[in-house]
Amino acid sequence: MVAYLAALVLAPWLHPLAFRPLPGWQTGTSGTHSAYVRGVVESSAWIARNVRYRDDATADPPSKTPAHLPRSGVIVWAGISNSAENGANPIQLDLSKAKHFDCCDGAYFASGEYELTGSGPAGSYGVIVRIYFGSRPTSTLRAEAQRALNHLELPSSR
């Protein structure tokens, strides 16, 4: 029984968060790491189009890459942690449902920041996804960002 419970707790961290490859995009991941808060485990990943990603995968928000982000650039950053809020709704990876903020801590993006939050499968971990554009997002840029979101692989809860 103890081994079964341990497997449930560790399952999302055995296969860290990642984006499946997408032609024309670059990807990166942090693997699984301990957060600054004791007992919190995290994993983060990014996918970028039309820009070389210059930050660590754990940078939230990225602070070096924005200076090089062209108008046609898109960045999608995602992170998971075992500090999920109880009762959080499952995340919907749908850009049209993202909250929009003027921008971010320590970085400037012409588009501001788009954010999706929720829980992973079976509520086993918290998920946050942030989307950045090099300019006000056109329907084409939004479609590109949605393609990237569709390539995010959330770890299983088992």
Structural domain total, the chain: 1
Q: Which contacts (CB < 8 Å, 24+ apart) does range 18-21 have? A: 18/45, 18/152, 18/153, 19/45, 19/46, 19/47, 19/76, 19/78, 19/148, 19/151, 19/152, 19/153, 20/151, 20/152, 20/153, 21/151
| pLDDT at position 59 | 84
pLDDT of residue 145: 97
Say if CB 13 and CB 145 are below 8 A apart: no
What's the whole-model pTM score? Answer: 0.85
What does the pLDDT read at residue 56? 87
Provide the strand spans (E) within the chain.
18-19, 25-34, 41-49, 74-81, 99-101, 113-119, 126-133, 152-153
Handedness of CA 100, 102, 107, 110 (dihedral sign): positive
In this structure, is residue 158 part of a structural domain? no
| Residues of the chain under the 50 pLDDT cut | 1-9
pLDDT of residue 36: 61
Q: What is the pLDDT of residues 108-147, one digit of tens each?
A: 777 888 999 999 988 889 999 999 999 999 999 999 999 9
- The Cα 36–Cα 98 span in angstroms is 27
CB-based contacts of 30, cutoff 8 Å, min separation 6 = 16, 42, 43, 44, 45, 56, 57, 58
Quote the pLDDT of residue 7.
41
pLDDT of residue 86: 63
In sequence order, what are the beta bridge partners of 23? none
The parent domain of residue 120 ranges over 2-153
